[in-house]
Amino acid sequence: MSNPPHLTFDPDKPGTSKGHLVVPKGADCEALSLPVFSLNKGDGPRLLITGGCHGNELEGPLVAQRLIAWLPEAQICGRIIIVPVLNPPAVQAFSRNTPIDGLNLNRV
């Protein structure tokens, strides 16, 4: 039995945190370690931002990186979590679909 997906950092820690979302090895793929950025500025709205769902659309990861650089200085409240690249195998292959199984991650 494999371990469940887990974070390598505490997203409840106030301020900024960086780490990874570790997705264990599956039957047809190796384990994935997705970089994650967290900004926790207390009570308020929560927002999840992802990029790189489709490997041939690079705008999302680029904007995510810019947000990671800008957000710590922003006057906000609440929590923002950013996963710049949600589908690393597709980004590495510059493919809309995941090369592991040929599926579109946005349709699964």
Q: Are residues 36 and 62 in contact, defined by beta-carbon separation less than 8 angstroms?
A: no
For 40-75, what is each residue's pLDDT tens digit?
Answer: 999 999 999 999 999 999 999 999 999 999 998 888
Q: Which domains does the chain have, with CATH numbers?
A: 6-103 (3.40.630.10)
Cα separation, 75 vs 71, whole angstroms = 8
Question: Structure pTM?
Answer: 0.87
Cα separation, 87 vs 10, whole angstroms = 22
pLDDT at 1 over 60: no
Share above pLDDT 70 across residues of the chain, in percent, rounded to a whole number: 97
Cα distances (angstroms) measured from residue 59 to each of 10, 14, 85, 102: 28, 29, 11, 22
For 83-98, what is each residue's pLDDT tens digit?
Answer: 999 999 999 999 999 8
- pLDDT value of position 108: 82
